Amino acid sequence: EIVLTQSPGTLSLSPGERATLSCRASQSVNTYLAWYQQRPGQAPRLLMYDASKRATGIPARFSGSGSGTDFTLTISSLEPEDSAVYYCQQRINSWTFGQGTKVEIK
């Protein structure tokens, strides 16, 4: 099983600041990595897929990068509505999720 480890556990930033979230895989997943956003009380929403492609309707302030075992989700300028838990997911060998990073807006 491929294990995804996300860091940090929690990120507390102010509106307008840049958020950088990390996801590390226990073995290479090529670029078969997705990111999801889950706001409180809501279902997850697909943000990015294939490491760097934005899903439909996702604002340009979200970007993804990486390949192999190290990936990054960047939110260039935080908005209040970005307060959520963010999960990475690999799909090269079935599917597994990381444990999540909580982004808090001060």
Partner 1 sequence: EGQLLESGGNLVQPGGSLRLSCAASGITFSDYGMAWVRQAQGKGLEWVSAINATGTKTYYPAPVKGRFTISRDNSKNTLYLQMNSLRVEDTALYYCAKETGHMGPFDIWGQGTMVTVSS
State in angstroms the smallest separation of the CB of 61 from partner 1.
Answer: 20
State in angstroms the smallest separation of the CB of 24 from partner 1.
Answer: 16
| Helical spans, DSSP H, in 1-106 | none
Please state the separation of Cα 27 from the chain's center in Å: 18
- In the list 36, 37, 66, 84, the residue contacting partner 1 (rule: CB under 8 A) is 36
Alpha carbon of 102 to those of 21, 27, 32, 93, 94: distances in Å?
Answer: 10, 24, 22, 26, 25
Contact positions with partner 1 (CB under 8 A) in 46-85: 46, 49, 55-56, 85
- In the list 9, 60, 80, 94, the residue contacting partner 1 (rule: CB under 8 A) is 94
| Cα 102 to Cα 82: distance, rounded to the nearest angstrom | 10
Q: Which residues bind partner 1 (CB under 8 A)?
A: 1, 34, 36, 38, 43-46, 49, 55-56, 85, 87, 89, 91, 94-100
